[in-house]
Amino acid sequence: MSIFQVIMLAAAAFFGYQVYMHIQNIDEEAEPESIKEVEEEVVDLAPSFDDRVKEADEAYMDDNVDKAKELLEGIVKDYPSTAEGMNKLAFILSKKGENEEALLYYRASLRIDENDDMAHNAIARLLSTMNKSIEAEEHYELAIKIDDNYEMTWFNYANLMLSLGKKEEAKKMFQKALEIDPSFEDAKKELEALK
């Protein structure tokens, strides 16, 4: 082998090595350092829980109840341990008259957070419309035990008492709602009607 060939071989090896190192650097820059980074990038591209809930809320506000239901079903599927998604889906189902299914979701949300007075309140209202007064009373009592300073619980409970003919109990509950919120017009009207 001549000196010229040795020089050419050395030059080829040197340039080959330089190309190899350049390609390595490109690959290292392009590839994330770990699988976790890849997962984080994918998660960042997906809409967040809050964004999806907001989209469902907007669909409901636009009177597109079916779209809201579909979006919330997806949220509940992807986030099965969040009570908020279940409660919102239950609310939509009750608006559509799918009361039994709505109750299932409300009860599932209570398995996640048994101290959610709003869920107990919603279940009680739904049970009232389904003529399940005893169960409704139990849920109003639980809601009050959790938070006795929410006027709507007292108001709704008072209406249940009225429907059962228990006017004195209803009167006390309307008064309690007014103690909490003195500007509560519906409670004032109901109380006036009972005098």
Residue 176 lies in a domain: yes
Mean pLDDT of 74-83: 90
Does the pLDDT at position 98 exceed 90? yes
Sign of CA dihedral 90, 58, 112, 80: positive
* Owner of token pair 């992807």: 78
Does the pLDDT at position 8 exceed 70? no
Does 106 share its domain with 142? no
CB 85 within 8 A of CB 53: yes
Does 149 share its domain with 184? yes
Q: Please tell me the predicted confidence (pLDDT) of residue 163.
A: 94
Does 59 share its domain with 102? yes
Domain boundary among 79, 114, 149: 114
Residue 144 lies in a domain: yes
CB 156 within 8 A of CB 130: no
Does 106 share its domain with 172? no
CB 115 within 8 A of CB 126: no
Q: Which structural domain range is residue 147 located in? A: 137-195
**Confidence class for position 27, pLDDT limits 50, 70, 90:** very low
Residue 121 lies in a domain: no
Q: Is this model's pTM higher than 0.85 or not?
A: no
CATH number of 96's domain: 1.25.40.10
Number of neighbours of residue 102 by Cβ within 10 angstroms: 23
Residue 141 lies in a domain: yes
Instruction: Give tens-digit pLDDT for 120-157.
Output: 999 999 999 999 999 999 999 999 999 999 999 999 99
Does 97 share its domain with 166? no
